[in-house]
Amino acid sequence: MKINEKQLAQVNDRIKALVSAGSFYGKKLMEKNITSVHSAEEFENLPFSEKNDLRDAYPLGLMTAPEEEIVRIHSSSGTTGLPVIIPYTAKDVDDWGEMFKRCYEVAGITNKDRIQITPGYGLWTAGIGFQNGCEKLGAMAIPMGPGNTNKQIQMMQDMKSTVLCSTSSYALLLAEEIEKRGIKDKIMLKKGVIGSERWGKAMRERISSILGIELYDIYGLTEIYGPGIGINCSESEYMHYWDDYLYLEIIDPVTLKPLPDGEWGEIVITTLVKEGAPLIRYRTHDLSRIIPEKCTCGRCWPRIDVIKGRTDDMMKIKGVNVFPAQIEEVLHQFPEVSSEYQIRISHLDGKDTMRLYVETTGDVEFLKLADSIAKKVKSVIGFTPLVKVVEVGVLPRSEKKTKRVIDERYE
Ligand code: ZN
């Protein structure tokens, strides 16, 4: 999907603002003597923005609107080094709320719903994003924030929450707890809006079947507003995204060239109307593809596939590139295993070894199951992992994001 005339005009507007604010990107453009773009080809030759550029701008180097117009900042946690600070104008906050409201609407959520929000509030964009959209929709927000499972379940019953917003890990933890306590009939949930980490089909099916709810996958990242820039509709798992606010490209992460619609690659995002910290051609490192077909729901917003992983999730084992999503796809073919798994990579006697832990109930033969999983995995990645089958509940559960890959080679 090439950038259109209107979007090009919006990009030129943002270029002007970036240059006059003297931001890192404005400087990049000045060095190349670029003051505007006039065609899709020229746009595709614009330099990329990277997370490191944003870090280097710490604390307020990304600020592109005048200080008196900035009403808020958010920050991405950043596991290494400096965090990224993103300034927002009142219009940015409002635009984000509109996009989020659209997400709820696409999920069939209305102003009669009661939305229990469990992502964290604070510097990061999670909780407050879900809250903004909820208030714009006119639904009732129950702003719980993360953790305290007892209280979550109590409020869920007392307030008769109809929508749960959470990470997939926490949704699973809550679902299993509700099942254990045998209180499913006291829970009024109908829908879950799940974001912030990649999750497999098995996990999705488990949460949805325990709670008897429909699940929606929400997309977003702090650098680009936050969660709420896309969501799937009830027709499929592909996510609609808002092309009146954002332009998405898919590039080959190695050659950095744009890929045709339908091909898998890295998502690159340009914000079309953002004022506080506009970003041009921002590399997300998320892997997906554009779905070229129109959605049967009749909405004309374009779609991307479920995020398959991150370019930096890629594990190099025995010289082979392996993605966690490939392992998940294999495990999904075994109905007797749970959604939880763990991969441990170590280096023993001069060789890489991959151990794969999976969970199952007590009524199957563990050794036989391990053997058939090992064979299936080999057929996909080309070498045989050591598979260990354990009882359901043995692998760690998390209130935030579950760490599934542990690389012991560099510890
Ligand atoms: Zn649709």
* Angle between helical axes of 5-21 and 24-31 (0-180°, round to 10): 100
Closest CA to 214 of 188, 190, 240: 190
pLDDT at 410: 66
Decide if 176 contacts 200 (C-beta within 8 A): no
pLDDT at 78: 61
CA distances 197 to 75, 167, 183, 250, 404, Å, are 17, 7, 27, 20, 12
Q: Which amino acid is at 12?
A: N
pLDDT per residue over 324-335, tens digit each? 888 988 999 999
Backbone angles phi, psi at 363, to 5 degrees: -95, 20
Q: How far is the CA of 107 from the centre of ligand 1 (A)?
A: 10
Q: How far is the CA of 299 from the centre of ligand 1 (A)?
A: 6
pLDDT band at 263 (very low <50, low <70, confident <90, very high): confident
Give the separation between CA 349 and CA 372, rounded to whole angstroms: 26
**Confidence check: pLDDT of 250 > 80:** yes
**Confidence check: pLDDT of 231 > 70:** yes
Q: How many CA atoms, within 13 angstroms, populate the side-chain half-sphere of residue 178?
A: 27
The domain covering 89-311 belongs, at the CATH homologous superfamily level, to ANL, N-terminal domain (3.40.50.12780)
Closest CA to 216 of 208, 356, 144, 224: 208
- By DSSP bridging, strand 140-143 and strand 191-195 are unpaired
Give the separation between CA 66 and CA 260, rounded to whole angstroms: 38
Q: How far is the CA of 233 from the centre of ligand 1 (A)?
A: 5
Give the separation between CA 173 and CA 171, rounded to whole angstroms: 5
Q: How far is the CA of 235 from the centre of ligand 1 (A)?
A: 6
pLDDT at 91: 98
Give the separation between CA 238 and CA 236, rounded to whole angstroms: 6
Q: How far is CA 85 from the centre of its chain?
A: 19
Give the separation between CA 305 and CA 238, rounded to whole angstroms: 5
pLDDT band at 201 (very low <50, low <70, confident <90, very high): confident
**Confidence check: pLDDT of 68 > 70:** yes
Give the separation between CA 321 and CA 332, rounded to whole angstroms: 20
Listed ranges 141-150, 312-321, 323-332, 394-403; the one with the highest mean pLDDT: 141-150
Listed ranges 144-153, 349-358, 389-398; the one with the highest mean pLDDT: 144-153
* Angle between helical axes of 201-211 and 168-181 (0-180°, round to 10): 40
pLDDT band at 321 (very low <50, low <70, confident <90, very high): confident
Least reliable range by pLDDT among 6-20, 271-285, 378-392, 397-411: 397-411
Q: How far is the CA of 280 from the centre of ligand 1 (A)?
A: 27
pTM of the model: 0.83
State the Cα torsion 234-235-239-243 to the nearest 10°.
-100
Number of Cβ within 10 Å of residue 1's Cβ equals 14
Mean pLDDT of 349-353: 88
If DSSP states are collapsed to H, E and C, what string results for 292-313? CCCCCCCCCCCEECCCCEEHHH
pLDDT at 79: 58
Neighbours of ion ligand 1 (CB under 5 A): 233, 235, 295, 297, 299
- By DSSP bridging, strand 351-360 and strand 386-391 are parallel
Asked if domains 89-311 and 314-410 share a fold, the reply is no
Mean pLDDT of 87-115: 98
**Confidence check: pLDDT of 163 > 60:** yes
314-410 topology per CATH: GMP Synthetase; Chain A, domain 3 (3.30.300)
pLDDT at 324: 86
Q: How far is the CA of 270 from the centre of ligand 1 (A)?
A: 22
What is the SS3 assignment for 190? coil
pLDDT at 34: 95
pLDDT at 329: 86
Give the separation between CA 104 and CA 95, rounded to whole angstroms: 15
Give the separation between CA 56 and CA 173, rounded to whole angstroms: 37
Mean pLDDT of 52-79: 92
pLDDT band at 89 (very low <50, low <70, confident <90, very high): very high
State the Cα torsion 379-383-389-390 to the nearest 10°.
-130
Give the separation between CA 78 and CA 96, rounded to whole angstroms: 22
pLDDT at 402: 77
- By DSSP bridging, strand 191-195 and strand 226-232 are unpaired
Q: How far is the CA of 136 from the centre of ligand 1 (A)?
A: 22
Closest CA to 223 of 388, 94, 77: 77
Least reliable range by pLDDT among 63-67, 133-137, 405-409: 405-409
**Confidence check: pLDDT of 368 > 60:** yes
CA distances 107 to 48, 101, 118, 148, 234, Å, are 33, 10, 18, 27, 7
Decide if 341 contacts 358 (C-beta within 8 A): yes
Q: How far is the CA of 181 from the centre of ligand 1 (A)?
A: 36
**Confidence check: pLDDT of 271 > 80:** yes
**Confidence check: pLDDT of 345 > 90:** yes
pLDDT at 362: 79
**Confidence check: pLDDT of 50 > 90:** yes
pLDDT at 66: 96
Q: How far is the CA of 239 from the centre of ligand 1 (A)?
A: 8
pLDDT at 254: 76
Which is more confident, 77 or 124?
124
Q: How far is the CA of 353 from the centre of ligand 1 (A)?
A: 42
Q: How far is the CA of 1 from the centre of ligand 1 (A)?
A: 17
pLDDT band at 295 (very low <50, low <70, confident <90, very high): very high
Token duo for residue 86 = 């993103």
Q: How far is the CA of 297 from the centre of ligand 1 (A)?
A: 4
**Confidence check: pLDDT of 199 > 90:** no
pLDDT at 305: 93
| Percent of all residues in the chain with a pLDDT value above 70, rounded to a whole number | 98
Mean pLDDT of 212-232: 96
Q: How far is the CA of 249 from the centre of ligand 1 (A)?
A: 20
Q: Is the dihedral of CA 294, 256, 79, 94 positive or negative?
A: negative
- pLDDT mean across residues, the chain: 93
**Confidence check: pLDDT of 411 > 60:** no
Q: How far is the CA of 229 from the centre of ligand 1 (A)?
A: 15
Token duo for residue 193 = 């809006």
Residue recorded with tokens 């509709």:
233
Which is more confident, 326 or 240?
240
Q: How far is the CA of 286 from the centre of ligand 1 (A)?
A: 21
Q: How far is the CA of 292 from the centre of ligand 1 (A)?
A: 12
Q: Where are the domains of the chain?
A: 89-311, 314-410
